[in-house]
Amino acid sequence: MSQKPRVCGIICEFNPLHKGHVSLLKAARENGADFLIAVMSGNFVQRGGPAMFSKWARAEMALACGIDLVLELPLPWAMAGAERFALGGVSILDSLSCVDFLAFGSESGDSTALRRAAHAVLSPALAAETRRRLKAGCTFAQAREQAALSVCGEETAKLLRSPNDILAVEYCKAIETLGSPIVPFTIRRTGAGHDQHTADPAAHASSSQIRALLAEGREFSHWMAPEAAEIARRELEAGLAPVTDRSLEQAVLARLRTMDPAEFAALPDVSEGLENRFFRAVRTAASLEELWFSVKTKRYPLARIRRLVYSAFLGIPGEMERHPPYARILGFRRSAEDLLSLIRKNARIPIVSTAAEMKRLNGTAREILDLEAQASDLYALGQPRVQPCGMDFTRKLLISETTDTQLSSNI
């Protein structure tokens, strides 16, 4: 290419990739993207738990549906709250030194309002009011929304009520915090909302609805892009999916029963004696659901408890780097080799794809990579046909020969 291509970043889980995601990819192309880069969670995801399909299967779905390059969001950021999840993804994209805009869905569909809200959230006055309300016993989400209403007014507060708007604000906040030139670009989310289900065959189903259908062994393919559904069926037939909480339940409980209060206290975001609640609950809990609801309180919502449980299982330490120190390639389209050359030339962090490159990492980067590999080994225990250890170092890089940039029209 004689001039720099226009590059769009997308931070995602694709758990699994559905028609709403395809609409976002299509909108990004229409906004002028020559290349689409996905920074995607690995085998464990932000809600706290395993992805239903492995990171390699989901990367393959992404490449089949229009993504040009899939990078892995490392575990300590992939399985974190919205702020850290967003910062990790934006940090990787910014470090590539070639991404022009970040595309994401939101309930509001208003990039300007989201950027204003992000700027407001960063203000000292709102931060102080949030801390005051936290001390009064509110959850973080409640405290920040109420603080925004008090300090900034309803326009900002309403953007901190819906899950995709909250994440969108965090993306914009990360861009501002990093001083990144990346421009946020949002489309309005349509169809079923986060964790909602729809019976309308013409609507876009949520990822949670598709996961429920998969877990129940029911037909799911109508709600997915045909290319992604074909890969999903192949993984199911091969005994490589689905992976659920139930798949890993005994392994998780076994690990937690060996821990003492000090080990629970060292987990990310543990405070105010929560380690003692965990220690007592795990002594008697016979299931993950029983454990979650034994520890959950008004102050500590379920998503936070789920993340803490899986952080304990996977050995994620409480103190971690603020920004991902490397980017791992899971797969790319052959037609994106110019993009890869551009990234390798300009990136400010190591870009790794082979076992040899991964083993050359050192310090914190190597520690995080080893943590990721260990998480994949534990994930493999939850696959219906249990897989061996070492897949992170032995699995071949995905290279798609797809050259068609036209996304599936069956949406």
Is 213 annotated in some ligand binding site? no
**What backbone torsions phi and psi does residue 142 show, to the nearest 5 degrees?**
-65, -45
Structure-block tokens of residue 197: 């289900």
End-to-end CA distance of the chain: 31
Is 389 annotated in some ligand binding site? no
User: If DSSP codes are grouped into helix, strand and coil, which group holds residue 358?
Assistant: helix
DSSP per-residue letters across 251-316: HHHHHHHT--HHHHHTSTT--TTHHHHHHHHHTT-SSHHHHHHHH--SSS-HHHHHHHHHHHHHT-
Single out the residue of 81, 69, 103, 111 nearest to residue 402, CA to CA: 69
Cβ atoms 174, 90 nearer than 8 A:
yes
Q: How far is CA 97 from the centre of its chain?
A: 21
Cis? peptide before 242, omega within 30° of 0: yes
Is 21 annotated in some ligand binding site? yes
Is 105 annotated in some ligand binding site? yes
Is 65 annotated in some ligand binding site? no
Based on C-alpha coordinates, what's the Rg of the chain?
21
Is 342 annotated in some ligand binding site? no
Is 164 annotated in some ligand binding site? yes
Is 18 annotated in some ligand binding site? yes
Is 15 annotated in some ligand binding site? yes
Single out the residue of 215, 219, 217, 220 nearest to residue 243, CA to CA: 215
Single out the residue of 97, 94, 14 nearest to residue 56, CA to CA: 14
Cβ atoms 338, 7 nearer than 8 A:
no
Is 31 annotated in some ligand binding site? no
Is 16 annotated in some ligand binding site? yes
How many Cβ atoms are within 10 Å of 180's Cβ, its own excluded?
A: 16
- Quote the longest CA-to-CA distance of the chain: 65
Is 189 annotated in some ligand binding site? yes
Which residue positions form the known binding site for ATP?
11-24, 105, 164, 189
Which residue positions form the known binding site?
11-24, 105, 164, 189
